[in-house]
Chain A
Amino acid sequence: MKILWPPKARGALILLGGLVCAAAARAELQIDITKGVTDPIPIAVVPFAAATPPSGTYDFAAVVQHDLDGSGRFKTMERSALRVRPSRAADVLAADWHAEGVDYVLVGRVSPADGARFNIECELINALTGQLLGTTHVLADPASLRASAHRVSDFVYEKIIGTRGAFATRIAYVAVDGTAPAQHFQLIVADADGENSQVVLDSRQPIMSPAWSADGQWLAYVSFENRVAAVIVQQLRTGERRQVSARAGVNGAPAWSPDGRRLALTLSGSNGNLDIFVLDLRTQVLTRITDDPAIDTEPAWSSDGTSLYFTSDRSGGPQIYRTDVTGHQRVQRITFGSSYNARPRPSPDGRSLALVSREGSDYRIGVQDFASGNVRILTHGSLDESPSFAPNGMSLIYAGRVGRAAALATVAVDGQVSQQLKSDRGDVREPVWGPFVAP
């Protein structure tokens, strides 16, 4: 059926159409955002609804809150400021939380699972939009309630920050108690937040340079328990120990290859000249990597396992070099900016290198970007040492000094947040961050 518009009406329609087009064609207001901030994100962690006592009442939410605050990426709402305590997303009135200045809300509930275990179910709500951002289920074993809470933290971190959280990982470090000659050395493994520490080895003689295997099952370290330096590998679960290198002279600075089959070592041989070697753990074949009259030490594998970074004073002062492991062993100097650059540790993504750099009379932790060559100094201490990347590359753990005692601290790779780890184990040194481990 044909609609016959009166000519005048039709003319008006044409005019209207033209103007609508003109309005649509008008330039939109466009705003460019090229910068942002790294402020902590405000989040509320509501205590989880508890199951039956005693284990069911474990305060998972408190651990999550502690984790998130410690990351520097979040600022949690004080528990005392919580007016309501919902345990389900359906009961969360987003607008109310938003009005309190909270951007995200984590709610959860604990219910009994099989045996003595518990189910933790959590929901993360975006209070700005009211949308459910995600849910997670964690099965909590009574023996690892804390680890279960860390997994919830990992979930929150990944959902909001977009990077896998490293709360459920572990760290290893050496603690020294007392003063020589009555010193007491301990090799310790703890949760990434420093809690839940366990002694792996206790010795009257020095323990040095712990290093994680790629699967997180083993630690390699240097022990003087037989009065001379030996490199030991130890399985954490069983306590099984194997001495893998006890050659004449220095046996030091073990570093596990990404494939877990080899150890890079610093050996002096009988002439006392330190060079880098690679030991095949299965075949016991030792391969020389550097051969230089200068000191070459502190080897670290690139994340792809094809090259090694190490410290050498072949140019006068300590600087960082890189060499191929497989090919022609061509050595290339990496650092230049300072008269002292040492202890290289490549980032998990292979884009940068953590190191200790001297600034004036202070030794600080820096990160050198491979692409630009620029070094950013992240810490402000006078004797910061032993940087080690978290497996997600978002932060570093290192040993600094608080007064006269050494203490462990973490710093975000953007330098924004630094956190000191609690330790009641005296002088602590050489922290190393373990890899991601399967739940």
Chain B
Amino acid sequence: MRSTRKGDSRRNRWLAVLLSILVHGGIVAAVGWSWWTLRAPVRAPQQLAIEATVVLEKTVGAAPARTAAAPIPAPTPAPKPPEPPREPATPPVDLKRAAEEARREKEREAAAAATARLEEEKESAERNAKEAQEQVAREETERATRDKAKREKELRAQLAAEERVNAARGSTEEVAWLALIRDRVTRAWIRPPSARAGVNCEVLVTQVPGGVVTGVQIGSCNGDAAVRESIEAAVYRASPLPTPTNPDLFDRNLKFNFHPDE
């Protein structure tokens, strides 16, 4: 299964990085847009409030001027006074407008700055995401290389051991060792009367170096309870089992086949 996808791996990886960037970018854009749209309605009433003051000024006329100019023109001589009041009369509107303009400008600038900031943040996030991805990919590659080296080393050792064992398999050394085990277990097997010809029991035995039996598991067995009991007892009685002269031959797992020939 894994090998059939081997060719797609590189493409898949970059596709994933690209997808990741797109997804992150999309999230940032969505956050930015929602922030923008949520801001706009807040600003509109502000504008309306400003317009309202403007309308009031038009309909009431001097009201704002009065408030603004009244203290100055009334007691002073006539020729000069009209100018200053008018001057100040218009300036309030202009000032307002200017202020308004300035504010709007400021707001526009703020919005632009926010947008720029968002852009920047977005770019930064994308950059960070990309960097993180690259970092992960790099680390994975490094780890894989390390692991591969380690595994290969282990495998080489294992293969070497197996080769040595295979070389010894079937050798007189092994035959002699297994014969010693067989003799020892045979002498330890006190056969119950029901262990007659036709009985066949497979037994998986686990041992530790030194030959001490640590487990006896009876597999397929057509013998009765006494046969099973006798077999289990025989293997434990025979423990520790003889060990091979060549340590490479040692195997933790042994399979016994108890099948009396008479």
Which A residues fall within an 8 A CB radius of B? 4-16, 19, 23, 26-41, 103, 126, 128-129, 133, 159-163, 394
Contacts and interface: CB of A to CB of B under 8 A. Distances in A.
Nearest to A161: B192
A9 B232 contact: no
Contacts of A12: 144, 147-148, 151-152
B86 interface: no
A37 B189 contact: yes
A10 B6 contact: yes
Contacts of B104: none
Contact of B185 (A23, A30, A31, A394): A31
B254 to A, nearest CB: 5
Contact of B253 (A16, A19, A28): A28
A298 B196 CA distance: 32
Which 5 pairs show the lowest CB-CB distances between chains A and B? A162-B226, A9-B144, A36-B191, A36-B189, A128-B236
A162 B155 contact: no
Interface in B185-203: 185-195
B119 interface: no
A161 B251 CA distance: 32
Nearest to A126: B233
B6 A7 contact: yes
A39 B151 CA distance: 51
B247 to A, nearest CB: 15
Q: Which of A7, A15, A26, A38 has the most CB of B within 10 A?
A: A7
Interface residues of B, number: 59
Contact of A33 (B147, B185, B192): B185
Contacts of B186: 33, 35-37
B13 interface: yes
Q: Which of A15, A19, A35, A163 has the most CB of B within 10 A?
A: A35
Contacts of A394: 193
B121 interface: no
Interface string B110-154: 000000000000000000000000000100110111011001100
Nearest to A394: B193
B12 A162 contact: no
B225 interface: yes
B183 to A, nearest CB: 10
Contacts of B137: 6
B125 to A, nearest CB: 22
B26 interface: no
Given A4-B13, A10-B6, A19-B155, A29 B144 contact: no
A36 B234 contact: yes
Nearest to B249: A29
Contact of B226 (A10, A16, A129, A163): A163
B145 A37 contact: no
Interface of B: 2-3, 6, 9-10, 12-13, 16, 137, 140-141, 143-145, 147-148, 151-152, 155, 158-159, 162, 169, 178, 181-182, 185-195, 216, 224-227, 229-230, 232-234, 236-237, 251, 253-261
A300 to B, nearest CB: 22
Given A31-B257, A36-B260, A162-B225, A16 B233 contact: no
A153 B195 CA distance: 22
Contacts of B195: 36
A101 to B, nearest CB: 10
B259 A162 contact: no
B178 A8 contact: no
A162 B224 contact: yes
Given A19-B158, A31-B182, A163 B193 contact: yes
Q: Which of A7, A32, A36 has the most CB of B within 10 A?
A: A36
Q: Which label, helix, strand, loop or mixed, suits the secondary structure of the B interface?
A: helix
A36 B190 contact: yes
A9 B190 contact: no
Q: Which label, helix, strand, loop or mixed, suits the secondary structure of the A interface?
A: mixed
A134 B104 CA distance: 97
A163 to B, nearest CB: 6
A37 B232 contact: no
A8 B145 contact: yes
B172 to A, nearest CB: 15
A40 B188 CA distance: 11
Contacts of B225: 162
Contacts of B6: 7, 10-11
Given A161-B192, A162-B193, A162-B227, A29 B253 contact: yes
A126 B143 CA distance: 52
A113 B209 CA distance: 52
A133 B229 contact: yes
B193 A4 contact: no
A156 B13 CA distance: 70
Given A36-B189, A36-B260, A128 B253 contact: no
Q: Which of B193, B234, B256 has the most CB of A within 10 A?
A: B193
Contacts of A39: 190
Contacts of B191: 36-38
B181 to A, nearest CB: 6
A36 B230 CA distance: 10
B16 A33 contact: no
Given A31-B257, A128-B232, A9 B148 contact: yes
A374 to B, nearest CB: 11
Contacts of B159: 19
Nearest to B165: A26
Given A16-B151, A37-B186, A162-B225, A32 B13 contact: no
A103 B10 CA distance: 65
A21 to B, nearest CB: 13
Nearest to A101: B237
Contact of B233 (A7, A13, A35, A103): A103
Q: Which of B194, B225, B233, B257 has the most CB of A within 10 A?
A: B233
Given A13-B2, A103-B237, A35 B260 contact: yes
A8 B141 contact: yes
Q: Which of B148, B257, B261 has the most CB of A within 10 A?
A: B148
